[in-house]
Amino acid sequence: MIVTTHADMSLHSLTIHEARDGIVRGEFTATALLEAVLGRIEALDGKVKAYLSVTADAARAQAARVDEARGRGEPLGPLAGVPIALKDIFCTKGVRTTCGSRILENFVPPYNATVVERLAEAGAVLVGKTNMDEFAMGSSCENSAFGPTRNPWDLERVPGGSSGGSAAAVAAGECLGALGTDTGGSVRQPAANCGVVGMKPTYGRVSRYGVVAFASSLDQVGPLTKDVTDCAILLRAIAGHDPRDSTSIPEAVPDYEASLREGLSDLTIGLPREYFGEGTDPEVLAAVRGAAESLQSMGAKTREVSLATTPYAVAAYYLIAPAEASSNLARYDGVKYGYRTAEAVDLLDMYVRTRSEGFGAEVKRRIMLGTYALSSGYYDAYYRKATSVRSLIRREFEESFRECDVLLTPVAPTAAFRIGEKIDDPLTMYMSDVFTIPVNLAGIPGLSLPCGFTREGLPIGLQILARPLAEGTILRVAHAYEQAHEWHRRRPEPA
* Inter-residue contact 83 to 118 (CB < 8 Å): no
Residues 6 or more apart whose CB falls under 8 angstroms from that of 420 comprise 142
Report the Cα 180 to chain-centroid distance in Å: 4
Q: Measuring CA to CA, which residue among 125, 92, 119 is closest to residue 23? A: 125
* Distance between CA atoms of residues 87 and 115, nearest Å: 12
Containing H/E element for 446? strand 446-453
Residue 205 contacts residue 182 (beta carbons within 8 Å): no
Residue 435's closest CA among 425, 448, 421, 424? 448
Given 101, 140, 144, 162, the catalytic residue: 162
Any residues with CB less than 8 A from the CB of 124 and at least 6 apart, and which? 62, 77, 79, 80, 82, 83, 84, 237
* 183 Cβ contact partners less than 8 Å away, ≥ 6 residues apart: 136, 162, 214, 215, 218, 219, 220, 321, 440
Active-site annotation holder among 144, 163, 166, 186: 186
For residues 251 and 240, give the distance between their C-alpha atoms in angstroms, rounded to a whole number: 7
Separation between Cα atoms, residue 284 and residue 190, nearest integer Å: 15
Q: Is residue 200 among the annotated active site residues?
A: no
- DSSP secondary structure letters along 122-149: TT-EEEEEE--SGGG--SSS---TT---
Amino acid at 483: Q
Catalytic residue among 13, 49, 87, 259: 87
User: Sheet holding 197-200: strands in order across?
Assistant: 51-54, 125-130, 83-87, 177-181, 221-225, 197-200, 446-453, 459-466, 406-410, 268-272, 301-305
Pair 401, 465: CB distance under 8 Å: no
Angle between helices 228-238 and 16-25 (to 10 degrees): 80
Could you confirm whether 259 is annotated as catalytic?
no
What is the distance between the alpha carbons of residues 160 and 417, in angstroms, rounded to a whole number? Answer: 9
Which residues make Cβ contacts (< 8 Å) with residue 397, sequence separation at least 6?
A: 307, 438, 442, 444, 465, 467
- Can you name the residues that pair with 198 across neighbouring β-strands? 224, 448
Task: Reply yes or no on whether 47 is catalytic.
Answer: no
CB-side exposure of 162: number of CA atoms within 13 Å? Answer: 30
383-to-120, 314, 376, 386 alpha-carbon distances in Å: 40, 13, 11, 5
Give the catalytic positions in this structure.
Answer: 87, 162, 186
